[in-house]
Chain A
Amino acid sequence: MKGFTAALLVWSLLSLSRSSNKAWPTHTVCRDGNLEVLYQSCDPLQDFGFSVDQCSKHLKPNLNIRFGIILREDIKELFLDVALFNKGLSILNFSYPICEEDLPKFSFCGRRKGEQIYFAGPISNPGFEILQGEYQVLLELYNENHFTVACANATIICS
């Protein structure tokens, strides 16, 4: 019976580790004195890399970011959806076009499925102050056919 329990334990552990393999590791975008930003890819197919050049409660406009990913879809058109939550309550939702047929804002617009993209440069964000608290952010990048290009669950902890 002991052997059986051991087998059960081993099996459950193995299947547990296998299922947890599906979740991508949580990465740190930045960690500073009073601000910490973490993210995890929610695209079951792949992870991606992201970082920001500065990490401060007083977010400056036109931040420089670094972003690396393999495209699984063409991005002639690319849109970003952001949903911000605090304690489970929705605070803010918005959608922003990054690449459009008549306005490709960034040099990577129009690149093809299968291409590896590395972007290091400014994004045209407005500057604002992050209020104290813990926030959950769901970010989704998708193309004109609504196919996911990237998906991230992020946590912002501001103390």
Chain B
Amino acid sequence: MALRTSCFLLAVMFSASCKAITSSDGMCTEKEANNTYNCENLGLTEVPNTLPNTTEFLEFGFNFLPTLENTTFSRLVSLIFLDLTRCQINWVHEDTFQNHHQLNTIVLTGNPLIFMAETSLNGPKSLKHLFLIQTGISNLEFIPMHNLENLESLHLGSNHISSIKFPENFPTRNLKVLDFQNNGIHYLSSEDMHVLEQATNLSLNFNGNDIKGIEPGAFHSNIFQSLKFGGTLNLSVVLKGLQNSTTQSLWLGSYEDTDDQDLTSAMFDGLCDISVESINLQKHYISDISSATFRCFTQLQELDLTANHLNELPSGIEGMKALKKLVLNVNSFDQLCQINAASFPSLTDLSVKGNIRKLDLGAGCLERLENLQKLDLSHSDIEASDCCNLQLKNLALLQYLNLSYNEPLGLRSQAFKECPRLQGLDLAFTHLYIKGPQSPFQNLHLLQVLNLSHCLLDTSNQHFLTGLVDLRHLNLQGNHFQDRSISKTNLLQTLSSLEILILSSCDLLFIDKQAFQSLRKLSHVDLSYNSLTGNSIDALSHLQGIYLNMAANNIHIIPSHLLPTLSQQSTINLSHNPLDCTCSNIHFITWYKENLQKFEGSEDTKCANPPSLRGVKLSDVKLSCGITATGIFFLVVFLFLVAILLIFSVKFLLRWKYQHI
């Protein structure tokens, strides 16, 4: 008997534990109802029945489908995007996508394909993107080409391709992106390139192929959007081979893990015969850099010399008068004057980001760049006790300035007088020190975006933001206010055009009812990660239709007189607050449930009190406060019964008393 019971128990237990496994499988995540599903990593061997026929976007990667045939996806005829990454697909049989007329993207990355049938990609009316990355392809004839007339991008990276010679009739007319990253292509011949002549504005990627030779004239008179030869060991081979070609951009950068040779000025001679607008030479080292190095850069509009071990650019570079954009990030300049900016008078965009040494801005180093509109000097250890008029001298057209992530800067009144046309100014994470009631931004009448997050500001200075008449977007995240509160008179009062205000992580306890009174155009207010209570909502009573983020504050109860203020806003986030779910907050809870569509982050809007409801979503809370109709009914019945009982007991008592007289 005992044996039989234990066998039974054993069976029950095993089946129970097995059941638990199967039930966790096969559950695709719905990203958009009836339309977008993610079924990745589920070990599926077929399309689950739970997926609706209307599914358009399906991520099905990391499952198990050794064979694709016309029954595999036959039910999902509306598919537009199908991702079959790493599904261990060996075979793609005839007419697999026969009924999928709308299909526009097929991803087959990382599948050990043995064979694709001639008609395996037939069906889609306009197949635009095909990913065959790391599928073991060694010969381009492997790709069935019958239905590729509309193809815009073909990704063939990480295969064993050694020749880019497509079959003669391969349709390339609409091709815009052709990616051959990380293959074994060493030689490009005119014959190889012939099929690509039909394509216009093609982006061709040969990164990670060590090109050892290009037949002269192979790229002759072709027009490209971009050409990438990243990690190629011998640059002069590439530049010579591109003779008479035209391309918008040319990427010739190197990497930390490729051992490339030092570049010499002579290697760039080939550039004289190429029409190119933008060149990237990241992580190279030019051994004999001089003004002659740039002899053939005359047509260039953009030059990227990121991490080129530069400590200066030679003076007297002739013929780079057309250059519009210069990137000198991650180099080793000591002083900004060492870039000899005078050689590039047409420059509109300059970036000296992440300089390895402490960068001294000097005085007037950029004064010849009269056309400069964009300047990025972030992450460069810049320190200046009196910034920035001397440093930014004569940059009258500058519109965007980034000085974020630097060492402390001292600012006085009208600190940006030299760049009165500034529209965007980023000073995030740069400590600003300002003595007394100065107004550093006073003349910036056109400034629209100002990022002052984590600048350790003295927010008690009422004049700090004066003059910013057109400011739309202000970020004050991570700054602290006196008494941890924003009072009636504060530094924001002059900003009448302000639309977006970010005051998150400012350690605030309270905001005065009148604090934002003059900010009538606000449409986005972020007060998250403070210690505000419900009462601070009163400061927004004059605003309508705004996005309000009060996540991660200290809101317990929202009094009913504040509900109209919330009602008039369009989106509200109250997640991660210690909300009270007792009857003292019943008005808010009822209103919350009625206006659920207004709320963002409702998954994380939970009760903290009473203990029995801790962690319960506010939308799931059911509270009954006060006496309801049923309550009254039962009370009346109860009182009635008590009365009857009383009458009977009195009667009984009297009868008993008389009987015993």
Contacts and interface: CB of A to CB of B under 8 A. Distances in A.
Interface of A: 1-4, 6-7, 10-11, 14-15, 18, 45, 70, 72, 102-107, 109-116, 119, 121-124
A104 B280 CA distance: 12
Contacts of A6: 6
B86 interface: yes
B7 interface: yes
A97 B133 CA distance: 25
Given A102-B327, A113-B85, A114-B85, A7 B109 contact: no
A13 to B, nearest CB: 12
A7 B329 contact: no
Contact of A7 (B6, B62, B157, B330): B6
Interface stretch (B195-203, B215-223, B254-262): B254-262
Interface string B160-184: 0000000000000000000001100
Interface string B1-37: 0110111011001100100000000000000000000
B62 A72 contact: yes
Q: How large is the interface on B (under 10, 10 to 19, 20 to 34, 35 or more residues)?
A: 35 or more
23 contacts: A1-B2, A2-B6, A3-B2, A4-B9, A7-B9, A70-B86, A102-B306, A103-B306, A103-B329, A106-B256, A107-B208, A107-B230, A109-B255, A111-B157, A111-B158, A111-B182, A113-B61, A113-B109, A114-B85, A114-B109, A115-B109, A116-B134, A122-B257
B87 to A, nearest CB: 9
B255 A104 contact: yes
Contacts of B327: 102
B3 A3 contact: yes
Contacts of B255: 104-107, 109
A85 to B, nearest CB: 25
Given A3-B2, A3-B5, A3-B7, A105 B256 contact: yes
Contacts of B253: 104
Nearest to A103: B306
B534 to A, nearest CB: 32
Contacts of A109: 255
Contacts of B155: 112
B257 A116 contact: no
Nearest to A18: B17
A11 B10 contact: yes
B282 A103 contact: yes
A70 B62 CA distance: 11
A119 B3 CA distance: 57
B2 A70 contact: no
B207 interface: yes
B3 A107 contact: no
**A-B pairs with the 6 shortest C-beta distances?**
A3-B6, A114-B85, A114-B110, A121-B257, A114-B109, A7-B10
B420 interface: no
B41 interface: yes
Interface in B22-65: 41, 61-62
Contacts of A115: 109-110, 133-134, 157-158
Contacts of B86: 70, 114
B510 interface: no
A56 B330 CA distance: 31
A88 to B, nearest CB: 26
B307 interface: yes
Chain B at the A interface: mostly helix, strand, loop or mixed?
loop
Contacts of B282: 103-104
A140 B231 CA distance: 27
Interface centre among A14, A104, A119 (most CB of B within 10 A): A104
Contact of B329 (A15, A102, A104, A124): A102
B258 A107 contact: yes
Interface of B: 2-3, 5-7, 9-10, 13-14, 17, 41, 61-62, 85-86, 107, 109-110, 131, 133-134, 155, 157-158, 181-182, 207-208, 230-231, 253, 255-258, 282-283, 304, 306-307, 327, 329-330
A60 B132 CA distance: 40
A4 B5 CA distance: 7
A118 to B, nearest CB: 11
A65 B58 CA distance: 37
A45 B41 contact: yes
A7 B11 CA distance: 9
A114 B207 contact: no
B14 A11 contact: yes
B185 to A, nearest CB: 15
A110 B230 CA distance: 12
A109 B257 CA distance: 11
Nearest to B306: A103
B17 A14 contact: yes
Given A3-B7, A115-B110, 13 more contacts: A3-B2, A7-B6, A7-B7, A7-B13, A103-B330, A111-B157, A112-B109, A112-B155, A113-B85, A114-B109, A114-B110, A115-B157, A116-B134
A106 B230 CA distance: 10
Nearest to B231: A107
A66 B13 CA distance: 45
A18 B359 CA distance: 57
A132 to B, nearest CB: 31
Contacts of B107: 114
Contacts of A70: 86, 110
B476 to A, nearest CB: 24
Nearest to A45: B41
Contacts of B182: 107, 111
A124 B307 CA distance: 13
B256 A103 contact: no
A121 B283 CA distance: 16
A110 B207 contact: yes
Nearest to B258: A107
A3 B9 CA distance: 9
Contacts of B2: 1-4
A23 to B, nearest CB: 17
Nearest to A98: B256
Contacts of A2: 2, 6
A102 B208 CA distance: 17
Contact of B133 (A3, A15, A114): A114
A155 B155 CA distance: 40
Interface centre among A11, A18, A102, A116 (most CB of B within 10 A): A102
Contact of A112 (B13, B14, B131, B283): B131
B256 A124 contact: yes
Nearest to B155: A112
A10 B6 CA distance: 11
A152 B153 CA distance: 36
A91 to B, nearest CB: 23
A121 B231 CA distance: 14
B350 to A, nearest CB: 14
A10 B157 contact: no
Contacts of A72: 62
Contacts of A121: 256-257
Nearest to B307: A103
Contacts of B256: 105-106, 121-124
A4 B258 CA distance: 64
Nearest to B257: A121
A123 B255 CA distance: 11
